[in-house]
Amino acid sequence: MQGVDPAWLPDGVFRPIGTRRTVLRGSGLLVDTVHGELVAACARYGGGVSREPGPYDLLLELDDSFSPDDAEGFTYERGDGRATVTASGARGLLYGFFHAVRLGEEAFLGEPVRETHRPAVGLRMLDHWDNVAVHPVMGQVERGYAGGSLFWEDGRARGDLDRVAAYGRLLASCGINAVAVNNVNVHEAEARLLTDRISEVAALAGVFRAYGIRTHLSVTFAAPIVLGGLATADPLDPEVRRWWAAATARVHEAIPDFGGYVVKADSEGQPGPFAYGRSHADGANLLAAALEPYGGTVHWRAFVYDHHQDWRDRTTDRARAAYDHFTPLDGEFAANAVLQVKHGPMDFQVREPVSPLIGAMPGTRLAVELQATQEYTGQQRHVCWLGPMWSEVLRFEPEEGSPVGELARGGLVAVSNVGDDPFWTGHPLAQANLYTFGRLAWRPDADAGGILDEWIGLTFGADATAGVRAVMAGSWRTYEKYTAPLGVGFMVQPGHHYGPSVDGYEYSPWGTYHFADRDGVGVDRSVASGTGYAGQYGKRWAEVYETVASCPDELLLFFHHVPYGHVLKSGKTVVQHIYDTHFEGVDEVAEARRRWDALAGVVDPVRHARVAERFEEQLRSAREWRDQINSYFFRKSGVPDEHGRTIY
Ligand code: GCU
C-alpha cells in the first residue's frame, strides 16, 4: 500500500514464489485471496500461476478429503526443487501459503522434507481498544501509541477500508484469526455498534473474512438498559434474556461468521452482574446463551478488582482479586464462555508472576491476555521486544507438565499495538511484538529468538539480521533494568503511565503499592505474614514464592518486603542491585542506539530515521528513570552507591 510501511511483507519476500510456476487447486474466498497474492507476485517477478493441473514448482492444494476436521493445519512437502502445500481447510491453505513465503528460497531448495503444521491454540486474537468517538481522556485509541484507529475516525467508521485489508493480510501472515474491533470500555457511541450501527462492524468483518479472521465486538453489560430501554440488565430476567437473544440474532444476520462478544464487567466502573446480586457466571452465561445458536463465544474478562482501595488497609490486595472472584465459579461457565485472564495478577507490568488463576479453574475455558500495546513498557517510544517475556509466561508450568500455553484452551489474546501511523505501531521495531504474538499464539513453545530472527529477515533482509538482533533481543530486560525493580511494578506517572513517578500511585485508590520506607521496600504477599496471595498458587509455586529464601530475585519485591541490605541470590544487596541495574540499563540503551546508528545505509532511511528519533527519547527517558529511582532509594535508605557514581 502506498505511503504505508510494508512491515514484514515487503515485495521482495514474494520473489522466490513470484519467479516460479504455481498451481493453485481449490475454490472459495480464501483460495481467491491466495490467488490474488500469487497473481501480484508473478506480475512483479515474471512467474506464472494456474488454477488447472499442470507443471509446477509450487503446488497449493485445498483437499478436504484428506483430513476434514483440520481446518487450519497444512502439510508442506519439499523435494527436487519443488514444494507442495496441502490443506483440508481454506485457512490452512492460506497459512501454508504464508509458510512458503516465510521460507523464501528455502521453500524449494534443500533436503526433502514433509511436515505437518497446525496451530496449538485455536483462537489467536487481537483486541483493539479503539473508540469510535474520540474519548475526552483516552482519545481515539485507549492506550494507543500509534496514531488514530484503523477502523474509526472521529465518531464514524472509516469509509476507505484498504488499510484494514492490508492489516488483515499482515495478521493472516502471522496466524491471527480473530479481531475485536472496539474498546473493552464501551462508551455511548460504541455501545450502539451492537444494534443500529452493526452495519459498520459488518463492513470490517467483510474485509477481515477474506483473510480468515473472524470479527468480535466489545459490548456493554448494560446494553438492555442503554439500548433496549429496559429497566434492568439482570442476567436472570427473562426479558433481558430475550433482548440479548434478539440483538444477537440481528448481529448474526449482518455478520454470519460473527465471532462473539468481549465483555469487561464490574471492572473499573463498567456495569456488570454484581449490581443485581448475580455472579459473573450468570453474566457470562446470559451472553453465551444468546451466542450459542450461531457458534459464537463470549470472552468474559477476569480483570475484576477493587479500584477504590484505601492505602491504609493492608488486608486488601489487588493481586488476589481475579483468583478470589473467579475460582469459586469454576465449572459454572457455559461451554461457549471463555474467561479471559491477564497473564499477570496486576496489569501488564514489565515483570509480574503468572496469574495464579491460570491452571486453577480446570472446569473453565481460559484465554490468556497479553498486552502488545506498550502501556507500561515504553509506549512505543522505547524499543521493548516482548517475545522473551511472553515466552516465559507461556512456558510457565503452574503444575508440572502443564504450561500456560496449553492451559489457554480458550485462546491467546493480545491488546493490539496498531494504529493509523504509517509504520503501523509508531515505533517501527514494535511491529515485532505484533508478529511475535501471532507466531507464539500459533506455537506457544516456539523459540522466541527464532521468531525475532524470522521477523528481522522478512522485514529488513539478511544483511541487517545481526545488527537489528543486537538492538532488540535484550531490550525487554534492558527496559526492566531502568524502570521499577525486582518485580515491584508501577512507579509510573499516574493516568498516562509514561515515565517515572515512584510514589505516583502509592497513596491512591488503585491498589498498586510498593511500601518503600527508610528500612526497606516490597509487598509482603506471603501466607505467613502477608496478604496470602502466594498461597493462591499450587503447592509447588506457593512454596517457592512463600519465603524470601526461595523466591526468585526478579520477583522478590512482588512477594516480600525486605530491608535494603538484604542480599539477593546474585550476591548484591537490594539497594546496590537497584543502583547497578539502573546505571546498566541506561548504558544498554546508549549501546543499542549506537548499534542502530551503525545500521544507517543497511536499513531503509525513512525507517532508520524514525527509530533513531525514538532512541533520543528513550535515552532521555531512561536517564530520567535512572535518576529518579536511584535518588529515591538513596534518599530513603541513606545507603551510598558502592561505586561512588552520581546519585542526585
Ligand atoms: C489497564 C488500562 C486501562 C484498561 C484496563 C483493562 O488498567 O490502563 O486503560 O481499560 O487495563 O484492561 O480493562
Are the C-beta atoms of 440 and 452 separated by less than 8 Å? no
Q: Compute the distance between CA of residue 268 and CA of residue 262 in angstroms, rounded to an integer.
A: 15
347 is catalytic: yes
| Domain extents in the chain | 11-117, 125-460, 480-523+561-637
Are the C-beta atoms of 360 and 335 separated by less than 8 Å? no
Contact 127 CB / ligand 1 (< 6 Å): no
Contact 184 CB / ligand 1 (< 6 Å): yes
Q: Compute the distance between CA of residue 76 and CA of residue 87 in angstroms, rounded to an integer.
A: 9
Residue 353 CB burial class (10 angstroms; 0-12, 13-18, ≥19): buried
Rg (CA), the chain: 25
| Percent of the chain clearing pLDDT 70 (strictly above) | 99
- pLDDT, residue 67, reads 60
In 136-209, alpha helices (H): 162-173, 188-191, 198-209
Are the C-beta atoms of 337 and 285 separated by less than 8 Å? yes
Active-site hit among 347, 369, 420, 454 = 347
Say whether pLDDT at 68 is over 60: no
Same fold: 11-117 with 125-460: no
- pLDDT, residue 66, reads 61
H or E stretch covering 546: helix 539-546
State which amino acid sits at residue 635: R
Q: Whose CA is nearest to atom 11 of ligand 1?
A: 347
Each residue's pLDDT tens digit, 564-589: 999 999 999 999 999 999 999 999 99
Contact 318 CB / ligand 1 (< 6 Å): no
Residues 6+ apart with CB under 8 A from 323: 345, 355, 356, 357, 360, 536
N-term to C-term CA, the chain: 50
Say whether pLDDT at 281 is over 90: yes
Contact 143 CB / ligand 1 (< 6 Å): yes
H or E stretch covering 115: strand 113-117
Q: How far does residue 490's CA lie from ligand 1's centre (Å)? A: 14
Each residue's pLDDT tens digit, 500-513: 999 999 999 999 99
Each residue's pLDDT tens digit, 518-550: 999 999 999 999 999 999 999 999 999 999 999
Average pLDDT in the 21-29 region?
97
Say whether pLDDT at 65 is over 90: no
- How high is the ipTM of this complex? 0.99
Q: Compute the distance between CA of residue 415 and CA of residue 434 in angstroms, rounded to an integer.
A: 10
Angle between the N-to-C axes of helices 605-637 and 574-597, in degrees from 0 to 180, rounded to the nearest 10: 160
Contact 343 CB / ligand 1 (< 6 Å): no
Beta bridge partners of 365: 338
Average pLDDT in the 27-43 region?
97
Selected residue with higher pLDDT from 635 and 69:
635
Are the C-beta atoms of 37 and 14 separated by less than 8 Å? yes
Active-site hit among 154, 162, 188, 268 = 268
Q: How far does residue 310's CA lie from ligand 1's centre (Å)? A: 20
* 188 CB neighbour count, 10 Å cutoff: 10
Average pLDDT in the 299-303 region?
98
For the entire predicted model, the pTM comes to: 0.98
Beta bridge partners of 300: 263, 339
* 49 CB neighbour count, 10 Å cutoff: 23
- pLDDT, residue 61, reads 97
Q: How far does residue 303's CA lie from ligand 1's centre (Å)? A: 9
Each residue's pLDDT tens digit, 174-209: 999 999 999 999 999 999 999 999 999 999 999 999
Q: Whose CA is nearest to atom 7 of ligand 1?
A: 347
Beta bridge partners of 337: 298
What DSSP assignment string belongs to 469-496?
A: HHHHTTHHHHHHHHSS-TT----BPTTT
Are the C-beta atoms of 305 and 318 separated by less than 8 Å? yes
Are the C-beta atoms of 333 and 358 separated by less than 8 Å? no
Positive/negative CA dihedral, 331, 336, 337, 343 = positive
Hey, which of 126, 143, 348, 374 would you mutate to test ligand 1's pocket, going by the most ligand atoms within 8 Å of its Cβ?
143
* Cα 437-440-262 angle, rounded to 5 deg: 55
Q: Compute the distance between CA of residue 278 and CA of residue 108 in angstroms, rounded to an integer.
A: 59
- pLDDT, residue 488, reads 97
- pLDDT, residue 2, reads 86
Say whether pLDDT at 70 is over 80: no
Phi, psi torsion values for 79, nearest 5 degrees: 180, 145
Q: How far does residue 11's CA lie from ligand 1's centre (Å)? A: 37
Say whether pLDDT at 560 is over 90: yes
Q: Tell me the helix, strand and coil percentages in the chain, rounded to 5.
A: 40, 15, 45
Q: How far does residue 319's CA lie from ligand 1's centre (Å)? A: 15
369 is catalytic: no
Hey, which of 303, 346, 352, 413 would you mutate to test ligand 1's pocket, going by the most ligand atoms within 8 Å of its Cβ?
303
- pLDDT, residue 92, reads 97
Average pLDDT in the 301-329 region?
96
Beta bridge partners of 370: 414
Please name the CATH architecture into which domain 11-117 falls: 2-Layer Sandwich (3.30)
Closest ligand 1 atom, residue 129 Cα: 10
Residues 6+ apart with CB under 8 A from 364: 326, 329, 330, 331, 333, 339
Contact 142 CB / ligand 1 (< 6 Å): yes
Q: Compute the distance between CA of residue 162 and CA of residue 594 in angstroms, rounded to an integer.
A: 37
Say whether pLDDT at 252 is over 70: yes
Hey, which of 137, 220, 375 would you mutate to test ligand 1's pocket, going by the most ligand atoms within 8 Å of its Cβ?
375
Each residue's pLDDT tens digit, 411-436: 999 999 999 999 999 999 999 999 99
Neighbouring C-alpha atoms within 13 Å toward the C-beta of 88: 12
CA 391 and chain centroid, separation: 12
Closest ligand 1 atom, residue 185 Cα: 10
State which amino acid sits at residue 391: S
Homologous superfamily of 480-523+561-637: Alpha-glucuronidase, C-terminal domain (3.90.1330.10)
Q: How far does residue 577's CA lie from ligand 1's centre (Å)? A: 31
What class, spelled out in words, does domain 125-460 have in CATH?
Answer: alpha beta
Q: Whose CA is nearest to atom 10 of ligand 1?
A: 185
Each residue's pLDDT tens digit, 154-173: 999 999 999 999 999 999 99
Q: How far does residue 308's CA lie from ligand 1's centre (Å)? A: 15
Each residue's pLDDT tens digit, 596-624: 999 999 999 999 999 999 999 999 999 99
| DSSP 3-state of 44 | helix
Contact 317 CB / ligand 1 (< 6 Å): no
Angle between the N-to-C axes of helices 90-103 and 29-45, in degrees from 0 to 180, rounded to the nearest 10: 20
| Percent of the chain clearing pLDDT 90 (strictly above) | 98
The overall average pLDDT reported for the chain is 97
Active-site hit among 190, 375, 546, 588 = 375
Residues 6+ apart with CB under 8 A from 586: 482, 619, 622, 623, 626
Phi, psi torsion values for 630, nearest 5 degrees: -65, -45
268 is catalytic: yes
Are the C-beta atoms of 158 and 117 separated by less than 8 Å? no
Each residue's pLDDT tens digit, 489-499: 999 999 999 99
